[in-house]
Amino acid sequence: MSGVACRATTADVSADRRRRLLLGRLWATIALAAFAPAAPAAAQVVVDEAAAALERSVKAAFVFKFAGFVDWPAEALPPDAPIRIGVMGEETIVQEITEAASSRTVEGRRVLAKRIEPGDTLEGVHILFMRDPAFRKLASAVADLKPEAMLIVTESPGALERGSIVNFAVDDGRVRFDLSIEAAEQRGLKLSSRLITVARHAVGRAR
């Protein structure tokens, strides 16, 4: 891949158009709220929902693109095998990742996404996105999750100290992420230097 900001494709255009629409609705709602003091609470709910939808869309795009910046051991990702993304959380983000992957491959591999339900096996999962409150329920066991060669992505404060490799944070209204290079190495994963460069913070040092 040429970088985190990849060359635009049809899926990119679609995702960008969706984000533009969400932003348009967000600003329109803010403008309307200024002239509708009788219903400020209802207007705030709409604003919050639009912002949450935009944040979810951006995170889905990031999770998909992470697949192109990680090297898995050959035994974990054989030639021509698809990259499988599991999501502990609502189905919506699974659909967004699936849409992003529908017309693209990563290093010639298909990318498949599915929702992980409580009790489901994680065998064959290469990227696991643990959304809140799923992470908090399993926080004490994250470091022991199998398979070992699995990129664990979270969105909870303190997650890197509990075994997560990538942790999202919203910084000044922008979705950013922090990395634990040490946690990645412990799972036999190699993170691209380009991914490390664009991270907000990177914990540990590549050997």
Domains along the sequence of the chain with CATH: 1-207 (3.40.50.2300)
Q: Where are the beta strands (DSSP E) in 28-162?
A: 70-71, 83-88, 111-115, 127-130, 151-154
Global confidence as pTM: 0.77
pLDDT, averaged across the chain: 82
Q: Cβ(126)–Cβ(83) under 8 Å? A: yes
Mark out the alpha helices in 67-180 (DSSP H runs): 91-101, 134-138
The phi, psi pair for 199, rounded to 5°, reads: -70, 150
What confidence score (pLDDT) does residue 91 get?
Answer: 86
Count other C-beta atoms under 10 Å from residue 196's C-beta. 15
Residues 29-78 have pLDDT tens digits of: 434 344 444 445 554 554 577 888 889 899 999 999 999 999 999 999 99
Reported as a single tens digit per residue, the pLDDT across 144-186 is 999 999 999 999 999 999 999 999 999 888 999 999 999 999 9
pLDDT at site 4: 46
Q: Name the burial class of residue 138, with classes exposed (0-12), middle (13-18) and buried (19+) by CB atoms within 10 angstroms of its CB.
A: middle
Provide the 8-state DSSP code for 164.
-
What is the rounded distance in angstroms from the CA atom of residue 85 to the CA atom of residue 23?
27
The whole-number pLDDT of residue 6 equals 42
C-beta separation of 194 from 66 below 8 A: no
Distance CA 175, CA 169 (A): 6
